[in-house]
Amino acid sequence: MMATGTTRTLPTRDVAQASWRGMRGRCPQCGKGKLFASFLKVNEFCPECGEALHHHRADDAPPYVVITIVGHIIVGGALYLEKAYAPEMWIQMALWVPLTVILSVALLQPVKGALIGVQWALRMHGFDPNSPEAQEPPPSALKAAAR
């Protein structure tokens, strides 16, 4: 057991690789296990390597990033289309509203996965074994204890 106040130096993790793996919905450590149990619910542990994934704190960041990306695409496209062709308003609405919804839904999971990969690589929150958050049990254990 380590003395109080000491920390051990841990090897660095490749942020780009972890982010890419997360974007593809894979475990940031092994790249094989599924990151998501369902559309946006993250597995508590990697089914392949057992890496704890429940420490992530993605929260509101993925929607903000998606809004920024989609907003730039939609606003830029709408302005270009308006200036170049000046189509009727119903054509603009018929094009941009569905495209906004489709892009938002399509980007949400990859952006959340990439953010979790970055958190893992930078050892943020409980992904750092030296942090107090690393000792927190997974949500399923807390639910079971509450029963």
Q: How confident is the model over 88-134, as pLDDT tens digits?
A: 999 999 999 999 999 999 999 999 999 999 999 999 988 998 888 88
3-state secondary structure of 34: strand
Give the pLDDT confidence of 36-60 residue by residue, as tens digits.
999 999 999 999 999 999 999 999 9
Structural domain includes residue 32: yes
Higher pLDDT, 143 or 126: 126
Structural domain includes residue 103: yes
Structural domain includes residue 1: no
Expressed as residue numbers, the domain containing 52 is 15-138
Q: Say yes or no to pLDDT of 1 above 50.
A: no
Contact 136, 55 (CB under 8 A): yes
Q: How confident is the model at residue 147 (pLDDT cuts 50, 70, 90)?
A: low
- In angstroms, the first-to-last Cα distance of the chain is 33
Structural domain includes residue 6: no
What is the Cα–Cα distance from 55 to 124, expressed in whole angstroms? 9
The domain tally of the chain equals 1
Q: How confident is the model at residue 80 (pLDDT cuts 50, 70, 90)?
A: very high
Structural domain includes residue 130: yes
